Amino acid sequence: MSEIVRLTCPMGRKRAELWSGAVLALAGAGGAAAAFAGLVGLPEQDAQGALRWGAVALSAAVLVAGLALLADGLRLRVPVLEVEDGEFRYTRGRYIVRIPFADVGSYYVLRGRTRSLGLCDVTGRPRQFPSVQGRRASRPYLPLTGLTSPDKVDAFMSTAGIPPRDRSLTSGR
């Protein structure tokens, strides 16, 4: 296989954090600017001045929360599955798994809140992968995202030429 077959998993959490962080940052900056502009010309011991300083502080906190959400959204990495030149690759940020295509026998999709992809060797045993985040020694699957459709994973794997794992009791007949 000489061309690249690629599946990029959708990341709803990344989009949500980026958009909500941008909205919060803009709202915080606008609120702080408006409250600070209202402070100009007020006496320092005025009760309204204390309320306006509270509004400035609250707007600054909203601005900081929005910037934190933006930073976290930019930090999230999207999983990418690729098959190219006889090699299966899973990439998520700096974490890369490379398996020779001849060593991949079949696959299965773990359904749940966060979808995962399990690969089996040619004898049908699940492969073990090092942990994505270093929390565990190994795991038998590669994490995808919750918005990843199992049908898209099936279509990607069939395009790549990897069959689904046969787990039926009557598979030998």
**Residue range 45-94, pLDDT digits in tens:** 566 667 777 888 899 999 999 999 999 999 888 888 888 888 889 988 88
pLDDT of the residue at 1: 47
Which of 89 and 172 is assigned the larger pLDDT?
Answer: 89
Residue 117 has pLDDT above 60, yes or no: yes
pLDDT of the residue at 51: 75
Q: Band of the pLDDT at 39, cuts 50, 70, 90?
A: low
Angstrom distance (rounded) from CA 49 to CA 47: 5
Q: Which residue has the tokens 């954090």?
A: 17
For residue 111, what is the DSSP state?
A: -
Mean pLDDT, rounded, for 150-160: 86
Q: Among candidates 66, 60, 59, 55, which has minimal Cα distance to 25?
A: 66
List of E strands, 121-170? 129-130, 138-139, 142-143
Residue 14 has pLDDT above 90, yes or no: no
Mean pLDDT, rounded, for 128-145: 75
Percentage above 90 pLDDT, the chain: 15
- Extract the tokens encoding 157: 């794997």
38, 52 Cβ separation under 8 angstroms:
yes
Q: Among candidates 37, 74, 75, which has minimal Cα distance to 59?
A: 37
